[in-house]
Amino acid sequence: MHNRDLPWTRAILRRRPRPPERRGPGAARRIASMTMLGLALLTSAGAPTAYAAPLAATAPPAAAAHVQIDLDAFDALKKTVALPDGIVLAYIDMGDPAGPPVVLIHGFTDNARDWAPMLPFLSAHDRLIVVDIRGHGKSSKPECCYSRLDFAYDIKLLLDVLDIDKTDVVGHSLGSLIAQTFAEFWPQRTRRVVLISSMGGRRPTAHAAPPEPGYVAAIRKLKEPVDPNSPFMIAWWDSPTPVDADFIRRERQDAAAIPLRVWLAVIDQSLSARTAYVDLQNTLPRLKAPTLLIWGSKDPIMDEGLRQTLRKGLPAAKVKIFEGLGHNPFWEQPASVAAVVQGFLDEGAASKSGQ
């Protein structure tokens, strides 16, 4: 079934891909559906790249597949739900309502739109739950609290409300820490985990805690109202390779609208360089679900030291490096990253079918 066959579809396609196959042994669903799950105008498409697991860097294809997305229509799909902990969480529920659930959790100062470039290349047969985490997008922005466990508990409560028993979890940057935490504390609710641009914390020296990264010092100097077109914000949203200018403009504007107190609370409670290593390493042994780690080789935030502490903490995890890409590789090469993510998720379904 194509996305155009689903009742919520409003897609216009210039090029129609082959219909996706259901999950099962040998089913390479990966990026079979090339629509925006009801929103995209497909302007170009490249062939899916096969999933190749560990350690080798993958160069981005010369002509990457990109989709022109109706971002206004995408944003309009958001709905909100009041959770038992008092948080009002915004989210988009798209795809096949009867399909395998996949929760996608965005990064720091992003929102659900973070995933829009990659969504057209995921399967129409998954049920995608795309959230605005607390403090971001259209979700509540409370005075307290912003630890990774607070964020993860919101996800757990959302799944309770949606009556979803078990899910795949995909997270980016801060969202990857939230996904990791969810899998650690609710393993019975977790199938597979994908951590994009993640870390295991910077190992402290014998004499001193790690210093704060440069971007944290820059954020602490921000004043309200935050200027979305300031040099810092332009640099904050920069990528090694081109990304759609309108998409980035919207991301900057939405980030500037987040209260500065939320920026600082997240840094202090979830992203503190001084405590991250001990905090993250203490709970990593709880993460038993099959896990895939993805980085861009030119990520200026998650450097090799931060990557190594995560790889050492999760020695069984599969690793994929995208050569030449930055902190947001699924913006730069959405089709290629989606192929890897979808292939990994499909492995779980295939192994379950073969039992």
Burial of residue 66 (number of CB atoms within 10 Å: 0-12, 13-18, 19+): buried
Query: What local confidence, expressed as pLDDT, does residue 12 receive?
Result: 24
Give 72's pLDDT tier (boundaries 50, 70, 90): very high
- For residue 206, pLDDT beyond 70: no
Query: What local confidence, expressed as pLDDT, does residue 354 receive?
Result: 52
Give 194's pLDDT tier (boundaries 50, 70, 90): very high
36-50, 125-139, 201-215: the lowest-pLDDT one: 36-50
Name the token pair of 249: 């403009």
| Domains defined for the chain, CATH in brackets | 3-353 (3.40.50.1820)
More confident call, 8 vs 216: 216
**Is-contact 200 303, C-beta < 8 A?**
no
What global pTM score does this model have?
0.84
- For residue 136, pLDDT beyond 80: yes
More confident call, 41 vs 343: 343
Name the token pair of 250: 């919207």
Query: What local confidence, expressed as pLDDT, does residue 293 receive?
Result: 98
Give 350's pLDDT tier (boundaries 50, 70, 90): low
Cα–Cα distance list, 350 to 85, 96, 345 (Å): 37, 19, 9
Name the token pair of 222: 């921000």
Q: If you average pLDDT over every residue of the chain, what do you get?
A: 84
62-66, 128-132, 191-195: the lowest-pLDDT one: 62-66
Produce one character per residue of 109-130: b if its CB has 16 or more CB atoms within 10 Å, e if not.
Answer: bbbbbbbbbbbbbbbbbbbbbb
Could you tell me which residues come within 8 angstroms of residue 170 by beta carbon, excluding any fewer than 6 positions away?
A: 102, 103, 104, 105, 179, 193, 194, 196, 341
More confident call, 318 vs 27: 318
C-alpha 151/C-alpha 322 separation (Å) is: 28
For 271-311, write each residue's pLDDT tens digit: 998 888 899 999 999 999 999 999 999 999 999 999 999 99
Give 211's pLDDT tier (boundaries 50, 70, 90): confident
C-alpha 58/C-alpha 325 separation (Å) is: 10
Query: What local confidence, expressed as pLDDT, does residue 76 receive?
Result: 96
- For residue 332, pLDDT beyond 60: yes
For 234-271, write each residue's pLDDT tens digit: 999 999 999 999 999 999 999 999 999 999 999 999 99
Look at the block and give the residue holding tokens 């332009």.
234
- Determine the average pLDDT of the residues in 97-120: 97
Give 3's pLDDT tier (boundaries 50, 70, 90): very low
More confident call, 297 vs 21: 297
In the chain, the percentage of residues whose pLDDT exceeds 90 is 73
C-alpha 277/C-alpha 285 separation (Å) is: 13
More confident call, 2 vs 252: 252
- Determine the average pLDDT of the residues in 130-155: 98
More confident call, 352 vs 280: 280
